[in-house]
Amino acid sequence: MNSLSLTLFDCVVLVTLLGLAWQLLATPDLFKAMVLFMSFGLVMALAWVRLAAPDVALAEAALGAGLTGPLFLSALHRLRGTRKGERRQQLDSIEHRGKIEKVTQRTSGRIIYLLLRILFAGLLLTLLVHLATILLHVEYENPGLGVFVAEQQEESGVISPVTAVLLNFRGYDTLLEIMVLFVAVVAVWSLATVRFSEKSGQVSPIQQGVVRILAPLMILVAVSLIWQGTHLAGGAFQGGAVLAAAGVLMMVSELPWLRLIPSLPVRLMLVFGPLVFLGLGVSCLADGRFLEYPGELAGFLILLIELACGLSIGLTLACLFVGGRPVDDLVDRGQLEEGS
């Protein structure tokens, strides 16, 4: 009975996932697609829970749904803000829409286009079926690396196996991954300057009040998630995401002091986590190997790294959401002169 209902639940989750994905990809309405995308992320988190991956579920809820959704929304807002008149065409030209339309005006063109689509769909379907049959028929009895993780868990200094893998056994991957985040921020900064909406005075007092209550709470949650990472689900990424969410909330509510944060402290904080990780890794070189934590200190060092990285990750994600460098960062000289 129990397993049957769970199976049913799984099926519902899966069907919802696929349906949502189909809808969000098919709908022409961008806003609807965003909303569907966020719900897609949440259902995804449910699926992770069902698949016994609480760490991933937390990360998905915080990052995949919690942060990516607002990212999309703010991007849409930004696009719509500049999207007036003839500029509307710029983005559509990415796919040479016009050409296709011209081709499809003729009957022969339309038929060929249709045939191409059928061919494409057929190809993909064949591929899908092929891969699925491989998954169904070719089964392997290898236990994966779980056995090794379990064997060496005690040496890793932490209790949670996922954290052990992330920060100790395969800490090098994680180091590079944090660098990916960092590069993303540098890239975003190189592209644009931050901007705030003009109507800061109109933020609802209720919103501000709620944010004032929620933000400290969220920071608390974030820290606890990071700390909890050593023995339960959680860790730097999840905690950082919650931290970022707090930041995003504050920014959306246009708290006045946020505009004034200068570039240098932000840069310091951004670099802090990666630098601590890298530095601790290198300091291990002194009497061992790169990223080889001395046995008794391993747990402490991992917690230290998680804290430092969690802070930086939070700030990184918030910066990604803001979508530009701080206003005082490398201003055009010409612009300054115009201003003065």
Partner 1 sequence: MPTVSASFWMVLPVVLPLAGGLLCFLWRQRSLWLPLAFALVNLIVVIRLTRLLLIQGPLHYQIGGWETPLGIVLVLDGPALLMLLLTALCGAGVTCYARGYFAYRISAQKQPGRHERQERFFWPLWLMLLAALNGLFLSGDIFNIYVTLELLSISAVALAALSGKPVAQLASFRYLLASLLGSLSYLLGIFFIYRSHGVLDLGLLRAVVEPGSSMTAGLVLMSCGLLLKSAAFPLHFWLPPAHANALAPVSAILSGLVIKGSLYLLFRFWFDTFASLISPAALNVIGMLGILAVFWGGILALLQQRLKLLVAYSTVSQVGYFLIAFPLAYHDATLSVWTAFLFMILAHGCAKVAMFMAAGTMYLHSGHDRMRDLHGIRLVMPLTVFAYGMAGVNLMGLPPSGGFVGKWLLLTGAFDDGQWWWSVAIMAGGLLAAAYVFRVMSPLFQAPVGASIFDGRPTPALLEWPPLVLSLIALLLGLFAPGIMALLTANGGAVISGGLP
Partner 2 sequence: MTVLFAYKLGGLCLFFMGFTALILRSHPLKKIMAVNVMAAGVFLLFIAMACHGRVGVAIDPVPQAMVLTGIVVSVSVTALALVLACRIQETSGGAGSSEGEHPPQGDS
Partner 3 sequence: MREVLDLTGIVLIVCGLPFFLSGSLGLLRFPDIFTRLHALTKADNVGLGLIVLGLICQAGSLFEALRLLMVWLLVLIASSASCHLIARSALEKNIKPWMRS
195: contact with partner 2 by CB under 8 A: yes
Query: Which tokens go with 114?
Result: 């249709």
Q: Which residue, 27 or 207, has its beta carbon nearer to partner 3?
A: 207
175: contact with partner 2 by CB under 8 A: no
Residue selected from 49, 73, 75, 214 as contacting partner 3 according to rule CB under 8 A: 214
Query: Which tokens go with 252?
Result: 């959306």
206: contact with partner 3 by CB under 8 A: yes
- Pick from 172, 157, 134: nearest CA to 278: 172
H-type alpha helices, the chain = 2-26, 30-50, 54-59, 68-82, 88-92, 97-105, 107-137, 146-156, 161-164, 171-191, 205-228, 236-252, 263-283, 298-322, 333-339
298's contact among partner 3, partner 1, partner 2, none, with CB below 5 to 8 A by partner kind, is none
Q: Which residue, 80 or 117, has its beta carbon nearer to partner 3?
A: 80
Residue 113 buriedness (CB in 10 A; 0-12 / 13-18 / 19+): middle
Q: Which bin fits 83, alpha (ψ -120 to 50), beta or left (φ > 0)?
A: beta
Q: Is 181 within 8 Å of 174 (Cβ atoms)?
A: no
Q: Which residue, 221 or 320, has its beta carbon nearer to partner 3?
A: 221
Residue selected from 46, 55, 211, 226 as contacting partner 2 according to rule CB under 8 A: 55
Residue selected from 118, 173, 207, 259 as contacting partner 1 according to rule CB under 8 A: 173
291's contact among partner 2, partner 1, partner 3, none, with CB below 5 to 8 A by partner kind, is partner 1
61's contact among partner 1, partner 2, partner 3, none, with CB below 5 to 8 A by partner kind, is none
333: contact with partner 1 by CB under 8 A: yes
Q: Which residue, 145 or 217, has its beta carbon nearer to partner 2?
A: 145
**Candidates 29-37, 42-50, 197-205, 280-288; binding stretch for partner 1 (CB under 8 A):** 280-288
Query: Which tokens go with 129?
Result: 């079926």
220: contact with partner 3 by CB under 8 A: no
Helix, coil or strand: residue 193: strand
